[in-house]
Amino acid sequence: MGRRNKKGQNISGWVNLDKPIGLTSTQGIGKVRRFLNAQKAGHAGTLDPLATGILPIALGEATKTIPFAQDHLKTYEFTITWGQQRDTDDSEGEVIEKSDVRPSAEDITALLSEFIGDIQQVPPKFSAIKIDGQRAYDMARAGEDVQLTSRPVFVESLALLEARSDEADLVMICGKGTYVRSLARDMALKLGTFGYVSALRRTAVGPFTEENAISLEKLEELSNSAPADAGAPAGVLLPLETALDDIPALAIKENELSDLRNGRTASFVSKPDFERIKLIGLEENQTAIAMFQGHAVALVERKGPNIKPVRVFNI
């Protein structure tokens, strides 16, 4: 492969990485940037090193849509091993409690409803939450007594897939900030035993699913076979607007395109133009994505009969 620009290529879009076990989210970003020689990247939600699965990585202008990707519901498939509590609430930690109690499938199923909806949850001590400017996991590894407070999280659904003598497989759809490790710990305690997450896979983050994901091996293979400085290989990038699939899309005209790209408010005061706002059901102060000839132009907000640019995409 030829020598590439040191600053990297100006690539915009999403790489839906199927992260392998043992890799941190930061390492995943680094590998994607290196394989594609991309200038700028960020991810939409950390995935623990011991977890596998969906890690959406934004490149270039797509980084402006990361908050929308983070707000999507996430799907996890995981295994709880019963009879032990570990200080990390996963298989990496030290055993701190033991129990001979093993819940039945009926016991587990009967409990599930208590963990669905708006619930309170105390994050694991080994988590990235900050306490007085320090990461909780750094404090825990240093032997400090980490005290985290309960906080509200949302679980849309929780189901038992299979129960075995010492473990159970479950699937959960939840909102941001929900810790699978905390859920496993709390379920076990409610069942009169201890438990930890021994396997974890994220199968979806909103529109980012296993069906449109790519492995590191495939990404490296495609990038090595592509010409230098030719942009991302075909089949690698998802469109910038992928993360915005649940917000209204407003088709704009050429004169409105010029206004928005230059940071100016576009007027929709005439009846035909205002009808376009009404047609997509755009409410006052609501965010939409402005589209011109099928391409994302800007994130905009409605202010009465006007459309105000919030984030302009320079692509």
Question: What is residue 230's DSSP assignment?
Answer: S
DSSP conformational letter for 138: H
DSSP assignment letter at 90? B
Residue type, 275: E
Six token digits for residue 169: 């497989």
DSSP conformation class of 21:
T
The continuous run of DSSP H or E covering 307 comes out as strand 306-312
Residue 170 CA to residue 160 CA, distance in Å, equals 5
Q: What is the DSSP string of 7-54?
A: T-B---EEEEEEEPTT--HHHHHHHHHHHHTBS-EEESS---TT-EEE
Q: What is the DSSP letter of 124?
A: P
User: Per the residue annotation, which of 18, 48, 87, 90 is the catalytic one?
Assistant: 48
Tokens 């680094």, located at residue: 30
Residue with tokens 């590191």: 216
Alpha-carbon distance of 196 to 300, in angstroms, equals 44
Backbone angles phi, psi at 27, to 5 degrees: -65, -35
Task: Give ∠ CA 154-20-246 in degrees, rounded to 5.
Answer: 40
- Beta partners for 43? 57
Q: Is 287 buried (19+), middle (13-18) or exposed (0-12) by CB count in 10 A?
A: middle
Question: Are the C-beta atoms of residues 55 and 46 closer than 8 Å to each other?
Answer: no
Segment holding 279, helix H or strand E: helix 271-279
Q: β-strands 95-98, 74-82: how paired? A: unpaired
> Catalytic residue at 89?
no
Q: Which residues are annotated as catalytic?
A: 48
